[in-house]
Amino acid sequence: MTAPRTVRVGDIALSNTAPLTFLAGPCQLESRDHALMIAEKMAKICAENGAGYVFKASYDKANRTSVSGKRGLGIDAGLEVLAAVKAEIGCPVVTDVHAPDQCAKVAEVVDILQIPAFLSRQTDLLLAAGETGRAVNVKKGQFLAPWDMPNVAAKIASTGNENILLCERGTSFGYNTLVADMRGLPQMAATGYPVVMDATHSVQQPGGLGGASGGQREFAPLMARCAAAIGVAAIFIETHEDPDRAPSDGPNMVPLDRMGALVASLMQFDRLAKADPFTL
The full DSSP string for 71-91 is --S-HHHHHHHHHHHHHHH--
Side chain identity, residue 140: K
Of the candidates 96, 69, 64, 93, the residue with the CA atom closest to the CA atom of residue 81: 93
Q: Provide the angle, in degrees to the nearest 10, between the axes of the packed helices 32-48 and 259-275.
A: 40
CA–CA dist 42, 54 (Å, integer): 9
Side chain identity, residue 237: I
Residue 195 burial (CB count, 10 A): 29
What's the pTM value of the predicted model, to 2 decimals?
0.93
**Cβ contact 20:235 at 8 Å:** yes
- The CA radius of gyration of the chain, in Å to the nearest whole number, is 17
Output the tens digit of pLDDT for each of the chain's 280 residues.
Answer: 789 999 999 999 999 999 999 999 999 999 999 999 999 999 999 999 999 999 999 998 777 555 656 677 999 999 999 999 999 999 999 999 999 999 999 999 999 999 999 999 999 999 999 999 999 999 999 999 999 999 999 999 999 999 999 999 999 988 888 899 999 999 999 999 999 999 999 888 777 666 666 678 899 999 999 999 999 999 999 999 999 999 988 889 999 999 999 999 999 999 999 998 766 4
CA–CA dist 97, 75 (Å, integer): 9
CA–CA dist 60, 78 (Å, integer): 8
Tell me 230's DSSP state. H
Of the candidates 235, 231, 210, 242, the residue with the CA atom closest to the CA atom of residue 221: 235
Spell out where 10-103 has E strands: 12-14, 21-25, 52-56, 93-96
CA–CA dist 69, 264 (Å, integer): 34
pLDDT at 248: 84
Tell me 218's DSSP state. G
Spell out where the chain has E strands: 7-9, 12-14, 21-25, 52-56, 93-96, 112-115, 135-139, 164-168, 171-172, 178-179, 195-198, 204-205, 214-215, 234-240, 254-255
pLDDT at 70: 67
Residue 47 burial (CB count, 10 A): 12
pLDDT at 263: 98
**Cβ contact 177:167 at 8 Å:** no
Length of the chain: 280
